[in-house]
Chain A
Amino acid sequence: MDDLLVDFLTETNEGLAELDVALVKLERNPGDEATLSLIFRLVHTIKGTCGFLGLGRLEKVAHAAENVLGKLRDKQLPLTGDVVTNVLFAIDQIKEIVTALSATGAEPAGEDSKLIATLNAISRGEVAPVAQAVSEAPRPAAPMVAAAPVLIETPAEDPPAPEVALDAQPGTAANVPGNAQTIRVGVDVLEDLMTLVSELVLTRNQLLQLTRSQDDKDGELGRFTVPLQRLSHITSDLQEGVMKTRMQPIGNAWNKLPRLVRDLARELNKKIELVMLGADTELDRQVLELIKDPLTHMVRNSADHGLETSAARRAAGKPETGQISLNAYHEGGHILIEIADDGAGLAVGRIKAKALANGLATDAELATMSEAQIQRFIMRAGFSTAAAITSVSGRGVGMDVVKTNIEQIGGTIDLKSTEGQGTVFTIKIPLTLAIVSALIVQAGGERFAIPQISVVELVRARSNGAGGDAGGPVVEQINATPVLRLRDQLLPLVSLTSLLRLPETAATHEAVYIVVTQIGGTTLGIIVDRVFDTEEIVVKPVAPILRHITMFSGNTILGDGSVIMILDPNGIARASGVGGGEGRSTDRRAASAQARVASDGKMAMLLFRAGGPEPKAVPLGLIARLEDIDHAKIEFSAGQPVTQYRGRLMPLVPMSGVLDQDRARYSVLVFSDDETGRGTASRAGLAEGGRCMGLVVDEIVDVVEEKLNVELTGNRPGLLGSAVIAGQATDVIDISYYLTQAYDDWFAQPEHPGSRATAGGPARILVVEDSEFFRHLLVPTLASAGFEVVAVASAAQALRLHDAGENFDAILSDIEMPDMNGIAFVRAVRAKGRWSDLPVIALTGHVAPEQIERGREAGFTDYVAKFERQALLASLQQCLAQPAALAA
């Protein structure tokens, strides 16, 4: 029988049982409007569903009954016993048809015209005869009137089964209807069963372990072997059976999607085809309920943000009809669901800009991220890629909610996207929430369980300094933070022993195991002392007094009877500072992430060592990327070290003057004048005209954010001066010096916005900046872009230049300045005749939306964060291009 029909029958039977009780209640208490509207609703539902299923006969009867009920509800008809009797007849007739329907799967043939006529007469207000017509029903069924009183006693909450038994008079006993095949059982009953079975599984495991560990001296145990095996078998079967009662095909969560997609396609004016594969993949009811909404949301997203309009698709050479495909399948005890679209893919550039604007990451952090990591920003709170909020999605409930929902059920979500080709989201969820597979590990002498779903791989490594020259991975330390080189990437590590403040054991210092876990986009290695087996465990909540320890998601009893805590990888990630973060978070990134909240006036500086033990610093904002380059990758060209970097040669300038040939790897700070966004993975941009230079240093130490107070020395080449950073005297290096070492024409490039802006020579820029340090950094930056720069230390000096008749093409001004601040300065500029039309760009340490608004009101053309070199150049270019365009 059709699934829909089965559902209908189950539902209708319940409705009918409720109807009987309600009608009788109404008869006793005619004024009860609540009951009347309940009856009306029930009949209406039946009618509506029949119409949908094409059950014509049933629909007609229900319709006639509904008419009468409607009149009763609207008080157009008095409620009399006769009326109720006739409605009851109609309901009996419905029951009759439903019974036949569940037996045969089709409506029985028959004639209900008399009953319908009676009902219609009643609804017209004619006094109706008590209809005897029903007996004309084709089957000599049970006498309806007799059956009715019996049914009245059936309480509404009874499942349909007993009602069926009442109907089954001796003569019709043979057609025990089809609804006996499905019964509705309370979910709590199933949950209880599941819990009990889980306990049974545990006890079974315990027994098995016990017999295995006992040595069988006198053959006593042999007698237990066979019954134990049987017990084991039955338990497994029982577990499977009970699990099955909770399993539903994932198609149940999908059945609303075709309609949704159709409506979306119309609303968005796109052509969308929805492909669903693996709809019969079964998963736990509870899990299914929990992923329903996230799935719907994701399909909505794919249709709205993912797929392009037909026109855009045609233009991109794609078929007009976009495809969204859902694919569900089992893999290793988990269910994988893929939601793929062949749309535009995620625009990395836009995500970066958004992440910057929303303060989710700094430019420097973005520079060290891979494309995939940047794409994962869309799953961060407060992020929506859609440029405009449409009525379909982008109502503020974003992918972060989806991610949270999925993580709540122990699942993970990842995405792959190729710009122009589409996006694939992959959701990995456990089959069931009750029993999970977990890896048992040991740290600090205690055992813990880690849910298998978050474990990516296990790596055996040596601790730093231990074990001599044996090969294999080694745990290295950066400022006492352990990291591991894993396939050319740095994996942040966290020691479970220290995280849980367990006593250090001897084992901690020799070979260690690293459990590589992936939580969302975060990869984190957890250092443990030993790794045991994997075990199926039943997650039990921890005692209330322990709930505050976020490192644990629960506890369980192992096969050997011991209690073990279950680690929550999410909690661990949060506790170790990786949490909420996306992407592979190195110590550098973690450090800068912490420092990101720093207030105005503070600047992120990269600390490193080169040619001596004293730390050196360079503003992080100037660095495009940090690279770790193998010795073998270094070549020499005309005596100068170079390396092939992203398909072109990059000159390497050793900070210490000469390249130390003995090192295996070199830490390199990459500086670039690539215009399409420094240090992005945008290869195209680099190939077009970007140049880069690598500064070779001995060691990258840290990223700190501090208020800088640079004391300028000015007499040593390559140094701007020194400052106290992280409590230590630190040399602040002058990047422009090293840039000219790599390319002596670095600052004389012809192809730059400054020279492009005005045909009659380089654009003149006035820089108003009170900090000498910033002036020293800004001037070479702008000069390198081809501008002619004049820098002054105060607004007053700038205004004096105006009065002296100086002309500029644009002004850059700091906001926070003594005496006359930037806001007052720009008001003054706007008030003065000659400079009043100049673009004035505000430089600030902190870009807050309110501040930008305030600045714009005062007359600033644009707002740029200090050290956003790229943003500054882009803004200048734009500001200068506009008047030029007007003139042309």
Chain B
Amino acid sequence: MSQALAERPAANDTANDEKVFVTLTVADQLCGVPALSVRDILGEQIITRIPMAPREVAGSLNLRGRIVTAVDLRRRLNLPDAPPGTPRMSVVAEQGGELYALLVDQVSEVISLPASAFERNPPTLPPPWSEYSAGIFRLQNKLLVVLDTARLLALAPVE
């Protein structure tokens, strides 16, 4: 959770002019993840399905000898599944010493965004987006949702 707290003011920080984000799309929505929290960007991977796992867990993949749990962002955001056969990409982030791969439709680029373009979530934003969005950046012709990876990866803590 400390990570979540650390990130939010960073995204809000007006003193720092520019923030670097990795942009990605999921179901045609442009999103961004703070570049510093991204460990890797992966193309299409072989993912081993895990039976009995929570719905959001797409499976496990091998990242240079480390086993990474893949979390499907579409499912996490209650979006319809990607059409079968569509190549997916992943953004790898760390949470509590474990690596997780967020499965997205497309990873585009790394961009710097001025803090002045940042806005809080509109209060009308429904869950689960409101839960996982740390705020919105106004781009020229699009809006970018800043994803809170810590919250996205805080999957139901099962004991």
Residues of A within 8 A of B (CB): 199, 202-203, 444, 446-447, 500-502, 540, 543-549, 551-552, 555-557, 561-565
A543-B98, A544-B98, A545-B57 as given contacts; A446 in contact with B49, CB under 8 Å? yes
| B38 close to chain A: CB less than 8 A | no
Does the CB pair A563–B65 fall under 8 Å? no
Does the CB pair B49–A546 fall under 8 Å? no
Does the CB pair B46–A203 fall under 8 Å? no
Residues of B within 8 A of A (CB): 46-54, 57, 59-62, 65, 67, 69, 96, 98, 100, 155-159
| Closest B residue by C-beta to A541 | B67
Majority SS of interface residues in chain B?
A: loop
Min CB–CB distance B61 → chain A (angstroms): 6
Does the CB pair B158–A548 fall under 8 Å? yes
**Given A546-B53, A548-B158: 17 more A-B contacts, CB < 8 Å:** A446-B48, A543-B60, A543-B67, A543-B69, A544-B157, A544-B158, A545-B53, A545-B54, A545-B57, A545-B156, A545-B158, A549-B50, A551-B52, A557-B67, A561-B46, A563-B60, A563-B67
Does the CB pair B60–A549 fall under 8 Å? no
Provide the residues of chain A in CB contact with B51, threshold 8 Å: 444, 446, 500-502, 549, 551, 565
A sample of 9 inter-chain contacts (CB < 8 A) reads A501-B52, A540-B67, A545-B155, A549-B51, A556-B67, A557-B67, A563-B48, A563-B60, A565-B60
Provide the residues of chain A in CB contact with B96, threshold 8 Å: 544
A562 to B61, CA, bound (A): 7
Does the CB pair A199–B65 fall under 8 Å? yes
Min CB–CB distance B21 → chain A (angstroms): 26
A551 to B61, CA, bound (A): 19
The tally of CB-CB contacts under 8 A between chains A and B is: 68
Min CB–CB distance B5 → chain A (angstroms): 20
A540-B67, A544-B96, A548-B159 as given contacts; A565 in contact with B50, CB under 8 Å? yes
Which of the listed residues B47, B49, B59 has the most CB atoms from chain A within 10 Å of its own CB?
Answer: B49
Provide the residues of chain B in CB contact with A545, threshold 8 Å: 53-54, 57, 69, 155-158
| Closest B residue by C-beta to A543 | B69
Provide the residues of chain B in CB contact with A540, threshold 8 Å: 67
A859 to B107, CA, bound (A): 82
Provide the residues of chain B in CB contact with A203, threshold 8 Å: 65
Min CB–CB distance A547 → chain B (angstroms): 7
A544-B96, A544-B98, A546-B57 as given contacts; A202 in contact with B48, CB under 8 Å? no
Does the CB pair B65–A546 fall under 8 Å? no
A444 to B48, CA, bound (A): 12
Task: Name the one of A202, A547, A555 contacting B158, with C-beta atoms under 8 angstroms.
Answer: A547
Task: Name the one of B46, B47, B69 contacting A546, with C-beta atoms under 8 angstroms.
Answer: B69
Does the CB pair B53–A549 fall under 8 Å? yes
Does the CB pair A202–B60 fall under 8 Å? no
Does the CB pair A557–B53 fall under 8 Å? no
Provide the residues of chain A in CB contact with B47, threshold 8 Å: 563
Min CB–CB distance A222 → chain B (angstroms): 27
A561 to B67, CA, bound (A): 10
Provide the residues of chain A in CB contact with B69, threshold 8 Å: 543, 545-546
Task: Name the one of A446, A552, A563 contacting B61, with C-beta atoms under 8 angstroms.
Answer: A563
A545-B158, A557-B67 as given contacts; A562 in contact with B46, CB under 8 Å? yes
Does the CB pair B65–A565 fall under 8 Å? no
Provide the residues of chain B in CB contact with A562, threshold 8 Å: 46, 48, 62
A203 to B51, CA, bound (A): 26
| Closest A residue by C-beta to B98 | A543
Min CB–CB distance A85 → chain B (angstroms): 52
Task: Name the one of A446, A544, A552, A555 contacting B67, with C-beta atoms under 8 angstroms.
Answer: A555
Min CB–CB distance A576 → chain B (angstroms): 14
A274 to B71, CA, bound (A): 57
Does the CB pair B65–A202 fall under 8 Å? yes
A502 to B157, CA, bound (A): 24
